[in-house]
Every structure is written in C-alpha cells, then in structure tokens.
Amino acid sequence: MSSSNHEHGAVGHIVPIKMLIGTCFALLILTVVTVWVAKLDFVKMQLSEMNILVAMGVAVVKCTIVALIFMHLRWERSFIGFVFVGSFLFVGVFIGFALLDTAEYQPSLIPGDSPQIQLKLDALDAAQATGEHGGAVHADAVVDQASSDADHDTPADH
Amino acid sequence: MTELHVQSDGHEEHGHDHPEFLGHHWKNPVQQFEAGKLGMWLFLATEVLLFGGLFCAYAIWRSNHPEIFKYGSQFLDTTWGAINTGVLLISSMTMAMAVTFAARGNNRAVIVTLILTLFGAAGFMAIKYVEYNHKFHEGFYPGMAFYEQPHASDLWLPLEETAIAKKAAIAKSEAALSTALAAEDVKRSEMPSPPADAQRWNKPEAAIGPQGMTTNQESLDTAEMAVFLPPSVLGNIIDQQGELAYAEHHTPGEPVHLAHPLQDPERPANAQKFFTIYFLMTGLHGIHVVIGGVVILWLLLKTMKGHFSREYYTPIDLGGLYWHIVDVIWIFLFPLFYLI
C-alpha cells in the first residue's frame, strides 16, 4: 500500500484525494454515532459508565484516523509515531495516577456551595426580596454588607 | 515555530547544484523535509502535554463532582457543538488536500483548498462566538462571576412546573424522613430490640458496600429505611434516588432548561466550576484555532506568490500538521463537554 501510493519523484508521501474524502466521511459518520450514543440513557440500563466509555472510545478511533491518514503518520518513520503516541501515553499515565489518588478520599468534605459563593447567593436573595430593579448596584451593596457582617477571618473575595 | 532555512545565503559560491530553498547544512531536500517534520511532531507532542494538564484537571474535577458536569452540560448546545466538529473535520480534509496538491505541484488547487480551510477556521470561530455570546448573555461566566449577575432580574427565567414539583417532592421526602427519625427516637427510648419485620430488609439485593448502598427501588421507601440506617448511608441513597428521578425525565444530550441556575433548586453546589473549565479548555483551543488560521493565511499568501513547488512545500505540510492537532484536540473536547 505504502509503496504503490508513492508517486514518482515526490519529496513526501502523497495521499490520494479520494482517500481523504473517504476518511472525512468516516470521521463524520463517527461523529454522528457518538452524538447518537450520548442520547441513549445508559443510567436507566444500569450502565451509567457506558456513555463516557463509548464517547472516549469513538474519540480515540477518530484521533487515530486523523493521525494515520490526514497527518500521514501511517507512512512516516516509526520514530515520529513513537514521539506522538508516547506523548499520549504519558498524558495517560499523568491522568491515571492523579485519578487513582483522587478516588481515595471522601467525595465532599465541605458540602454545599463554598462560603464565598454563599455570600453572593445571600446577597442576590436579598436583592430579589427588596426589589426587582437596579439589581447590579443593589446586589453589590448587599455583598459588601454581607461580607462585613460575616466572620472577619474570612478574606473578602473582591 | 519551526526553523526552516528557506533562503540559503550565497549558495552560488559553492558552485554545485543547490536549490534556492535548501539550507546549506542539508544533504538534499528529503533530509531537510524529514528534519522539519520531526521538529514539528516534537512540538505537537508538547501541545498534547499542554492540553494533557487541562484534561487531567477535567478528569479530577469530574470524578469528584460528576453532578456539576451533568448539570452544566445541559446549558451547552449539542447541535452547535456537533456542527463545529463537522466544520473542523472538513477543514482538516481540505488542509490534507492542500498538502496533496502541493506535493503534486498544483498551485491553483492549493490556493483553493487553503481558502476553504480558512473558511473552516473562520466558521468555527464564528460559531464559537455565537455560543460564548449566548453564555455571557445568560450570565454563565467562569469562576465567581457566575454569581454576580449584574442584570439578574432581567435574565432569570420563570421556574417551570416540573422544577416546582420536584422542589415539593424533596421537601416532602425530607419531612417524611424527619418524622421517621423522630418516631425512631421514641421507639429506641422505649423498645431497644429490633422490629419483628427486620428480616424483610435482609434481602441479597440490599447490600451495604464501601461504595454506598445498592437498593431495590420498588420495595424500599426512604422514610422506612431511615429507621434502620445511619444518616451517612441514608444520604447516599437519597442522592441515588434523586439521580434516578432526574434520569427518568432527562434525556442526555438534550438541553433541559428548567430554570436559570441561580434560581434552580436543583443547581448542584459550586456549579460554576463546569463553566470555568469549559471556558478554559475551549478558550485555549480557540486560541489555537486563531493561530492556525493565521498560519494558513500566511501559507496562502506564500503560495500565491509562488514560493512553493512540488520539490519544496514543507511549510504547507507542517502548517497542516498543526491544523490537524487542533482538530484532534476538539475531537476529545466535544464529547467531554457537550455529550455528558
């Protein structure tokens, strides 16, 4: 395949236009597939992890096709493939080990919104309660009020 | 980006057949082309690592708080995201075509395909602009600005009936729970022995494991369970029930704008984090698209001036590689943000 596609005297490998169109078509089909699969309700089917697995699987296939055909990786020296695939493997190691640690702790030590967010939400509630218009100035004023009322150890967030 | 010695200064002095585009330190055009490609691929590997850091942040945030991503993703428009995926894939194809035509020395076809690729880049950014503009208009900002809402009173959408009904259902189950707990307190003080029908709960399906509890939804009632379970386990079950109830009326991938997040009783805590990482990752990707567009424009001008030939089209090939890596990153971003 590689040698038969190599047009005479070319500096690099030449990929035929028809093959590029076919590749793009396949990629578009895969995009439709991944959108369609995302609409299936795997939570109901007791396969809640399935959506992300299928989505990532399709993405990896699409990425491989783009690299092999569009980026000519299929006809490159193997060292270039080593560099590129290696970068993905190292990202995989990075994410994998980070996630291993993340799973070791309680999911949420501080339930609810963060204290700073709660201040802002209280201010918005107060602004809603006192009047519907002039929200901007009013909300800011209440935030200032709330943060000065709040525990003085908490640094103001603005 | 890459060091390409297009001009070779004073190559006439050597008196041997050395093309204009070939640097002196290269043996032949193929060697120069291969070296340029290796440099570009090394750069692409660093790009993968750059985005890898952000993907790692995404993975940790999502594994800790899946509910934030499930909730936030509703406010992204899957249709626009899918169209943008198509736009990038087609522009990737036209870029690869430009490389093929360049290798065949067909300059006119290179110009046409590069213009088409440029349209793809512009189209992608235009759609991204529409999407970002919509998010900003609704106040879906990254970080704490999410809760600022300068014109909140004008933008807040009315609560829909389902949201009100759900709020009522939550309140009802909480009331039932507190009643049951109060009843249990009374029972405990009077009669410490387990109830006669405790046998009923020892079904194989209802096992308490380290991940929480697996329940048989049909036979268990929250208020009844409250009698037997410690609050920590019970909290898990209520969360699961809420998720199942949510899944029943929510089709993944379709936007369900129940209410503006700030008005929505079901908004998960720290919901702004979805938009923080959404804008961070798609924003950095957008910057890459703009840079790619500038590179393609530069290639187009050089091609129009006749700088390239079938012996020398290295910049087109390397610019194409950059454009494809932008596509590859979007291929991962699209399902991770739009298809949750």
Token representation of residue B244: 């199942």
Q: Please state the ipTM of this predicted complex.
A: 0.77
Of B55, B63, B332, the CB nearest to A103: B63
Q: Angle B29-64/A78-102 helices, nearest 10 degrees?
A: 10
What is the model's pTM? Answer: 0.71
User: pLDDT confidence of B183, banded at 50, 70, 90?
Assistant: confident
Distance CA A48, CA B70 (A): 12
Of A39, A91, A132, the CB nearest to B153: A132
Q: How many residues does chain B have?
A: 340
Tell me how many residue pairs between chain A and chain B have CB atoms under 8 A apart: 205
- Please report residues of B whose CB lies closer than 8 A to that of A11: 29-30, 33, 103, 310-313
Of B64, B100, B149, the CB nearest to A20: B100
Kindly determine whether residue B41 and residue A88, on different chains, have CB atoms separated by under 8 Å: no
- On average, the pLDDT of chain B sits at 77
pLDDT digits (tens, 9 = 90+) for B30-89: 888 999 999 999 999 999 999 999 999 999 999 888 889 988 888 888 999 999 999 999
Name the strand (E) or helix (H) holding B42: helix B29-64
Residue B111 has pLDDT above 50, yes or no: yes
pLDDT digits (tens, 9 = 90+) for B228-255: 454 445 444 444 444 444 444 444 444 4
The CA R_g of chain A, rounded to the nearest whole Å, is 27
The CA–CA distances, whole Å, from B237 to A49, B211, B218 equal 19, 11, 13
